[in-house]
Amino acid sequence: MATARLHLMLCGGTGCQASGSREFHAALEEEIKKQGLKDEIKVVETGCNGFCALGPVMLVQPEGIFYQQLKPEHAPLLVEEHFLKGRPVEKLLYVEPASKETIPIMTDIPFFAHQKFWVMKNKGAIDPESIDEYIARDGYFGMAKALTEMRPEEIIQEVRDSGLRGRGGAGFPAGLKWQFASKAESDIKYVLCNADEGDPGAFMDRSILEADPHAVLEGMIIAAKAINASQGYIYCRTEYPLAIERLNLAIKKAREYGLLGEDILGTGFNFDIDIYQGAGAFVCGEETALMRSIEGKRGMPRPRPPFPANKGLFDRPSVLNNVETLANVGQIILNGAEWYASVGTESSKGTKVFALSGDINNIGLVEVPMGITLRKMIYDIGGGIPKKRKFKAVQLGGPSGGCVPEQYLDTAVDYEEIARVGAIMGSGGVIIMDEKTCMVDMARFFMDFIQDESCGKCVPCREGTRRLLEILNKICGGKGEPGDIEDLEELSAVIKESSLCGLGQTAPNPVLSTLRYFKDEYIAHVYEKRCPAKKCAALLEFRVDPDKCKKCGMCYKVCPVGAISWQKKEPAYIDQSKCIQCLSCYEACRFGAID
Amino acid sequence: MARLEHPDITSDMTTRIDEVINTHRETAGAVIPVLRESQDIVGYLPVELIDYISSGLNLPKSEVLGVATFYSLFSLTPKGRHIIRVCMGTACYVKGGKEIMNRIRQNYGLEEGDTSEDRRFSLEAVRCLGACGLAPVMVIGQDTHGGVTPDRVINILEEYE
């Protein structure tokens, strides 16, 4: 086999594709061909690299040089200067936002340097469409060990000893779940993978599926052996077409290689996997609802017990694990429970993948050891808050989670510690909010999401969240009255207590956590008719301060309804009767003259 | 078997829908894939088509309609030539998704879930496309546009006839 001098690992994840990696790829291939370097340089389209905000990104191996924000017109320059003459192209390298220092080597970039790649060890390192490359990085070795050397009880014990907890959010010990299902008596059992990642602001499962689909299959096969299941389903969001495409290919290849299907590795063990596409319902991330959905019904949850481990899909014992949980399993079996448990805190072992987004410099996916502090994640890895603005809160755990203010930034990231400050680990969405975010508006946003996604089966969730949203809309719309805050508190308590499933039981969390830390903002909205973050348009009146106005006319240019009059050398004026409070002028003014 | 007659459904489409029904007929939980693939063929799910699928799969009409109305993927009304999906995930919201939605609303007189009278655009708010690095994100048909601003959004949309 010919070996290339350079491997160009070009990110082909969804984020980078959307910012043009396919177009760059074509230009690069053409330039390489033109220069006669086809045998020397190999371009590999990888899964998501994680550093999504800078896409398209590319890693040059073996040198480890990292390029960002690549455009088709950069291809000739890269080939000529770097790949032929050996001089890395300075202007395409990473520049640290704070120090303005150029950092050529990927592993030196702080965003990568503080991470620990276990679940994401293959991201950006292999071609996700090649089973051989997965195997070359110890892929399917854990599965081979489980199938040929271990009894089901031993597999379960190993996973229990590792301390692996469900990465979907609730953190239930994975091995214990398997143990329940293994003890259930039935000739048919199922292993299910929950790839219905629905939390807004979370995209780690998508990334794992796109970058390393075989790791998920491997985990499922091991789980199947542990509970003696013969059929598996991956329930994947239909919004993730690339993930579905790569999973389909991975399943096909695994079957061809005898790693899936009948008589796996000649051990006599049979297990096969099908993909089931979701149809857009957040509640289908809840396990009983997900199973109803695969059965072809409306995806509504049902009361537990009976638990799915005894009576799940088609009333058979079933184990449902999240993508990230399953992607850990192969390595735990291969390297042992002790290896896995050596990282993390007392109660939370291993690593966790987080999706950093919002008002932060380095947006992307990060995998960190459990126990790292929020501050380290946000400032050392995330690079802090852009535009010299102040940090306000970090929202953890999606709609069921909570907002954590500055004074708790030294909290260690583990299931219990995060719960103590009023949020949850959830699936790992971490959204940073700066001073321009209105916390009442955020609570309203999440409540809008939840009441939209409530399946409607139980009254507290269906009617209660609707009422919460009404009150929040009223407050943000400038019509808040005394008693509203107390109503929010009382309703939240009732919904939490009386809802049927996890969605309803956690639905009031956005309200409760913002009330806990940012009650003064609620008070300002209700009693002073003021939005301190200047976000709730109904509470704002846009006026130009003639003393501060620099007469530049920016506001005039951006106003979509012609409410602003302006002439050269004259301060602008806003006609209140025409203003639609769209915030455009307020955002555009660089001198703070509009208030 | 019921006949499928509807102005938006050609006989060629009917043949393909029959194929879809036949492929899935024997599998448990077939109704969602059948609805999805049929919607891909026709563009939406008219009530006549739902009736046709329910008799094809031998399921009560109420059950098939119940599924079709539960999931956000399915639409019982026709869609525009270009479907605008504005991401309203948390990251996009924090970075101005609402302002983008408002601008489209004002400019084309479209409310969320509406289709314009000339069927040029349908406007939808979607829950997190998982591309938070590009926030705020908007998808038109198959094209993803990242880092959209209220000022740029109309220019982008004007590219779609």
Chain A contact set for B106 (CB, 8 A): 560-561, 580, 582
With residues binned 3-state (H G I as helix, E B as strand, rest as coil), the percentages for chain A, rounded to 5, are 45, 15, 40
- Beta-strand (E) ranges in A208-268? 231-236, 261-264
Write the residue in B35, B95, B131 that is nearest to A14 by C-beta. B131
Cβ distance B133 to A206 less than 8 Å, yes or no, reads no
Q: Tell me the shortest Cα–Cα distance from B126 to chain A, in angstroms.
A: 10
Phi, psi for A27 (deg, rounded to 5): -65, -40
Q: Which site among A234, A236, A357 would you substitute to test the B interface, given the most B Cβ atoms closer than 10 Å to its Cβ?
A: A357
CA distance from start to end of chain A: 67
The alpha-carbon gap from A232 to the nearest alpha carbon of chain B, in Å, equals: 14
| ipTM, 2 dp | 0.91
Q: How far is A349 from chain B (nearest CA, A)?
A: 26
Beta-carbon-side half-sphere exposure of residue A516 (alpha carbons within 13 Å): 17
Name the residue among B66, B95, B129 with its Cβ closest to that of A239: B129
Instruction: Give yes or no for residue B2 having a pLDDT over 70.
Output: no
Separation in Å, CA of B143 to nearest CA in chain A: 8
Question: Searching chain A, which residue's CA lies closest to the CA of residue B152?
Answer: A558
Q: What is the largest CA-CA distance in chain A?
A: 85
A6 CB-near residues (< 8 Å, 6+ apart): A40, A41, A42, A60, A61, A62, A63, A83
Write down the residue that tokens 């291939």 correspond to.
A29
Question: Mind listing the pLDDT tens digit for each residue in A279-303?
Answer: 989 999 999 999 999 999 999 999 9
CB contact under 8 A, B67 and A433: no
Please tell me the predicted confidence (pLDDT) of residue B1. Answer: 55
pLDDT at res. A2: 61
Interchain pair A357, B132: CB under 8 A: yes
What pairs with residue B123 in β-bridges? Answer: B84
Please judge whether B90 and A560 are an interchain contact, meaning their C-beta atoms are less than 8 angstroms apart. no
Chain B contact set for A562 (CB, 8 A): none
- Distance from the Cα of A514 to chain B's closest Cα (Å) equals 15
Residue A15 to residue B133, Cβ atoms within 8 A: yes
Per-residue pLDDT tens digits of chain A, which is 595 residues long: 468 899 999 999 888 888 899 999 999 999 999 999 999 999 999 988 888 888 899 999 999 999 999 999 999 999 999 999 999 999 999 998 878 899 999 999 999 999 999 999 999 889 999 999 999 999 999 999 999 999 999 999 999 999 999 999 889 999 999 999 999 999 999 999 999 998 888 999 999 999 999 999 999 999 999 999 999 999 999 888 889 999 999 999 999 999 999 999 999 999 999 999 999 899 999 999 999 999 999 999 999 999 999 999 999 999 999 999 999 999 999 999 999 999 999 999 999 999 999 999 998 899 999 999 999 999 999 999 998 999 999 999 989 899 999 999 999 999 999 999 999 998 899 999 999 999 999 999 999 999 999 999 999 999 999 999 999 999 999 999 999 999 999 999 999 999 999 999 999 999 999 999 999 999 999 999 999 998 898 888 888 888 889 889 888 988 888 889 998 888 899 988 888 877 888 888 888 888 7
pLDDT, residue A528, reads: 95
| Interface A-B: count of C-beta contacts within 8 A | 147
Closest by alpha carbon to A388, among A592, A97, A93? A97
Query: Which phi-psi region, left, alpha or beta, contains residue A534 (left: φ > 0; alpha: ψ -120 to 50)?
Result: left
Give the tens place of pLDDT for each residue, A399-452. Answer: 989 999 999 999 999 999 999 999 999 889 999 999 999 999 999 999 999 999
Which pLDDT score, from 0 to 100, does residue B45 have? 97
Cβ atoms A323, A195 nearer than 8 A: yes
Contact B70 A299 (CB under 8 A): yes
Spell out which residues of chain B touch residue A282, defining contact as CB-CB under 8 Å: 127
pLDDT at A98: 78
- Contact across the interface for A198 and B127, Cβ inside 8 Å: yes
pLDDT by residue (tens digit) across B99-127?
899 999 988 999 998 999 999 999 999 88
Nearest-neighbour CA in chain A from B61: distance (Å): 13
User: Which residues of chain B neighbour A238 with C-beta distances below 8 Å?
Assistant: 36, 73
CB B78 within 8 A of CB B119: yes
Position B24 pLDDT exceeds 80: yes
Phi, psi of A588, deg, nearest 5: -75, -30
Nearest chain B residue to A449 by CA: give it. Answer: B127
